[in-house]
Every structure is written in structure tokens, then in C-alpha cells.
Structure 1
Amino acid sequence: MKRYYVNILSKENGDNELHNEFCLYMPVIINAQYIGDFSHDKKALEEALKTYPNANGCKHCCSTIHIQYEME
């Protein structure tokens, strides 16, 4: 199981990125909200979407749930 955090600061496209605890791109802790411990990225995203409807998986640590937009 991994710990997951969502960046409370939105990116330019409005996304709040979801990261696992091992991500090199995780935001500083003051800008990260703990989502929970999950064994799969998808379950963490489902939980994050309850609070952050624009949550999106980080393309580095949660690539299986990352939705890529043309502007990235």
C-alpha cells in the first residue's frame, strides 16, 4: 500500500494532481492533502475526486490514471 496526496493548488489547466508518497514531483507538504493509503492508484483517485472534482493522476507516479490533455 502507498500513501496518496493531492495537490491543493490547481495547475494551469485546473487539475489537482494526485501523487503517491514516493513521487519526486509531490508538492511541499503545506500544499498537499493526505487522501489515504491505497493498494491501487484508481482507488486513490476515486477518493480524491470526492473532494477535488478535477483530480488527475501525476504522469510520473500515477501514470495509469493520468489523463493527458493536448496543452501538456
Structure 2
Amino acid sequence: MKRYYLDLIPKTNGDHELHNEFCLYMPVIVNAHYIGDFSNEKEALKEALKVYLNANGCKHCCSAAHIHYESE
């Protein structure tokens, strides 16, 4: 199980990225909302969507939960 955090500062597209505790791109803890411990990122994203409707998995650490956009 990994710990998952949601970035409280949205990206330029408005997404709040979901990161696991080992991600190099995880925000500093004061800018992160702890989502919980989950066995996979898809389950973590389901919980994150309860906090922000525009939550999205980080393409680096949560690729299975990342929604790809044309502009990426």
C-alpha cells in the first residue's frame, strides 16, 4: 500500500494532481491533501474525486489514473 496526496495548487489546466508518497513531483506537504493509503492509484483517484472533481493522476507516479489531454 502507498500513501496518496492531492496537490492543492491546480495545474494550468485546472487539474489537482494525485501523487503517491514516492513521486519526485509531489508538492511540499503544506500544499498537499492526504487522501489515504491505497493498493492502487485508481482507488486513490476515486477518493480524490470526492475532494476535487477535477482530480487527475500524475502522469509520472499514477499513470493508470492519469487522464490524457490533447494539449499535453
Same fold by TM (over 0.5)? yes
- Taking only aligned residues, the RMSD between alpha carbons, in angstroms, comes to 0.6
Which amino acid in the other structure matches residue 41 of structure 1?
E
Q: SS at 1:44's partner residue? A: helix
Cα drift, residue 57 of structure 1: 0.2
What residue in structure 2 maps to residue 22 of structure 1?
A: 22
User: TM-score, normalized by length of structure 1?
Assistant: 0.97
Task: Indicate yes or no: 2:6 matched with 1:6.
Answer: yes
- Quote the sequence identity (%): 74
CA distance in 2, matches of 1:70, 1:28: 28
What residue in structure 2 maps to residue 44 of structure 1?
A: 44
> Which segments of structure 1 move beyond 4 Å, counting only runs of 4 or more?
none
Question: What is the total number of aligned residue pairs between the two structures?
Answer: 72
- The C-alpha deviation readout for 1:14-68, integer Å capped at 9, x for no partner, is 1000000000000011100000000011110000000110000000000011011
- In structure 1, the gaps of 5 or more residues are none
- In structure 2, the gaps of 5 or more residues are none
User: TM-score, normalized by length of structure 2?
Assistant: 0.97
Which amino acid in the other structure matches residue 43 of structure 2?
K
